[in-house]
A = this chain, B = another copy of it.
Amino acid sequence: MKSYSIGIDIGGTNTGFGLVDEKGNIISTTSISTKDFDIVENYLDEIVKHIILLIERCEDKSLLKGVGIGAPNGNYYNGTIEHAPNLKFHGIIPVKEYIETKLKGKGYDLKVTLTNDANAAAIGEMIYGGAKGIKNFIMITLGTGVGSGIVVDGKVVYGFDGFAGEVGHTIVQPEGRMCGCGRRGCVETYSSVTGLRKTALELINNTKTKSSLREICQENIGGKAIYNAAINGDKLALKCFEITAKMLAIGMANAVAVTSPEKIFLFGGLTKAGDLLMNPLKKYFEESLFVVFQNKIDLEISHLDENTAAILGAAALTY
């Protein structure tokens, strides 16, 4: 039967909204600038306005299933955003409760569901993407940070307190590089876009490997510059992707040993590197796997369009 959901993707820079049908078609979108708001209530009130805007654009409001929100540090159990480092709003924000109450006050009785962005991406992959019909898989999101959504037996694993799925903050090099989380050697500190950049700077400063990247001002060395150099066969840039892949591979292999998935999907900015990332990743992943899992687990780049995936994933939360 025809049905609609509203999906909201909360990011540090922008917040995107989409009215989505049950097949994953985005009927209408809108967006606001997250960073323009200093007071959380003003931000949430603006979100409510845009939800109502989309409700009004829905041809039959009785077919609306609800509102789904994907957010950094989103807690599914509580419907809260908790201590998100990339948002201006600090502490614990009761997003679900606030929005539901405001909507009700305006005569809209809609359920709001919230989870973290990587879990939303996993659900999006399961409902609309490459994980249709797959009961056990892992979604890895490679952006500024490394996130993950773990699906076991067809359900996202939230665990005791709603924070399960942090493959990015598993330790793969105990005495290794400092991570933003305060510990050493997490996957994220190597295998995020930020980590790739750190690796490039380390190799530039600590090795004598020739590289076109040495000609660029260090401030301008980012994912794109490293990608462009690597595509042209630059050895230092290729080494950056190799290190990124190796650390991620160990983290993924360790997560496999815990939950035994059928597939792992990769999503986000770094996947644009294509084979530059995927070739060393597949090699190191197989090498890092416990024998009972070897040659069994497919690695795939997400089937979802990066521009709309977060909204789709959030919308899929209402199912």
Contacts and interface: CB of A to CB of B under 8 A. Distances in A.
Interface of A: 82-83, 135-136, 148, 150, 152-153, 155, 157-167, 169-174, 181-183, 186, 250, 253-255, 257-262, 287-288, 290-293, 296
A171 B254 contact: yes
A133 to B, nearest CB: 13
Q: Interface SS of chain A: helix, strand, loop or mixed?
A: loop
A56 to B, nearest CB: 38
A290 B258 contact: no
B135 A160 contact: yes
Contact of A293 (B148, B158, B163, B167): B163
B150 A259 contact: yes
A159, A169, A173 pick with most chain B CB within 10 angstroms = A159
B259 A157 contact: yes
Find the residue from A250, A262, A287 having the highest chain B CB count within 10 A: A250
Given A148-B258, A182-B291, 14 more contacts: A82-B292, A136-B160, A150-B258, A152-B157, A158-B260, A159-B259, A159-B261, A161-B296, A164-B258, A166-B290, A169-B257, A170-B254, A171-B288, A254-B254
What's the number of copies of this chain in the assembled complex? 2
B160 A261 contact: yes
Contacts of A291: 181-182
Given A182-B291, A183-B288, A260 B163 contact: yes
Nearest to A170: B254
A164 B254 contact: no
A164 B290 contact: no
A155 B135 CA distance: 15
A294 B162 CA distance: 14
A262 B291 CA distance: 29
Nearest to A148: B258
A250 B171 contact: yes
A141 B217 CA distance: 52
A86 to B, nearest CB: 15
B153 A257 contact: no
B257 A167 contact: yes
